[in-house]
Amino acid sequence: MTTAPFRIAFFSAQKYDISAFDSQLPNDITAEYFTQPLNEISVKLAEGFDAVCCFVNDTLNETVINALNEIGIKLVALRCAGFNNVDIPAANHCKMVVVRVPAYSPEAVAEHCLALILTLSRKTHKAYNRVKENNFDLNGLLGFNLHNKTVGVIGLGKIGSAFVKILNGFGANVIYFDPFAESELAKPVSLETLYQQSDIIALHCPLTNDTLHIINEEALEQMKPGVMLVNTSRGALIDTASCIRALKSRKLGYLALDVYEQESELFFKDMSCEIIDDDVFQRLLTFPNVLITGHQGFFTQEAMSEIVATTLDNISAFRLQQPLENQVS
């Protein structure tokens, strides 16, 4: 007897997702790839499927979860670590299983964080353009050493720990704030001390009710003048308007972002021929000491392979009714 294949609707599917997943799908799983993000409107595309596979900017609020439940979806396979975009109580209420990829490559994000810091401090993005035009003037390119600098890490989980290991190699003095984790890798301090002492502050905590806009006016006021702030975690950890004010007053010396609170309107697509309506984002781009990448911290070959393998393992465990080690609801 042959059983019907398990049908998965992929949302927010990019070319690289399609090529990575398609080559690894087992024979008894079929996939349909939708470029649209999952939301209240696109949810009807999931009709006739057994599961949906989603990414960071797909909307899985109560309305979408209920709509998925009504059309018989029983599994949400997130192909990312963060699940702040999922209404977990709503999923629990309709017994919908949500699985994720908790750690595909903490080093990928940690190394990207370091790339942002070094680019901003050594201004290699500016130097690249200058040399392309035979401009070898060094004025305006003065950087600073990481050696002996105090780096404050907020959230010392998998990515934070990978980041600290790299910084220890640079001879930086690393301090951290994490109410739920302890580590020998760096010195624990209060959030207030971290703000007061750090030359560089890196955010590696998840987005929760407690961490929403953790970097606000009050936090910025406590920081050293000229501090560098790096966010590779989730956009809404930062109150962007406060950061813009701090950049204008020169309190914030450098800002590096791989994530942005309103990124779902912009990131993961080519907007180069579009007019961008987001004035806050456009203002950020005007500062010479702001560096933004479009949520690419995870994007390495190693991390993509791990995302595919773990997502397919999660789906297989669900089908075989085996224990789900990566379940979040």
Of 79, 107, 261, 263, which residue is the catalytic one? 263
| Alpha carbons 321 and 304: distance in angstroms, whole number | 26
Tell whether residue 186 is a contact of ligand NAI (CB under 6 A).
no
Of 234, 274, 302, 306, which residue is the catalytic one? 234
Written as one letter, the residue type at 269 is K
Instruction: Show the site string, 45-64: x = touches ligand NAI by CB under 6 A, - = not.
Output: --------------------
**Closest Cα to residue 260, out of 217, 302, 293?**
293
HSE value, Cβ hemisphere, 13 Å, CA-based, for 49 = 26
| Alpha carbons 49 and 12: distance in angstroms, whole number | 16
Nearest approach, Cβ of 133 to ligand NAI (angstroms)? 32
Beta bridge partners of 202: 153, 230
| Alpha carbons 74 and 319: distance in angstroms, whole number | 11
Beta bridge partners of 150: 173
Nearest approach, Cβ of 146 to ligand NAI (angstroms)? 20
Tell whether residue 232 is a contact of ligand NAI (CB under 6 A).
yes
Does residue 263 carry a catalytic annotation? yes
Which of residues 137, 179, 270, 273 is near ligand NAI by CB under 6 A? 179
Does residue 79 carry a catalytic annotation? no
| Alpha carbons 9 and 24: distance in angstroms, whole number | 16
Give 193-221 as a DSSP string.
HHHHH-SEEEE-SPP-TTTTT-BSHHHHH
Tell whether residue 205 is a contact of ligand NAI (CB under 6 A).
yes
Which of residues 160, 199, 247, 252 is near ligand NAI by CB under 6 A? 160
Residues 103-142 touching ligand NAI, rule: CB under 6 A, are 103, 106, 109
Binding site for ligand NAI (CB under 6 A): 81-82, 103, 106, 109, 154-160, 177-181, 204-208, 210-211, 232-234, 258-259, 295, 297-298
**Which of the residues are catalytic?**
234, 263
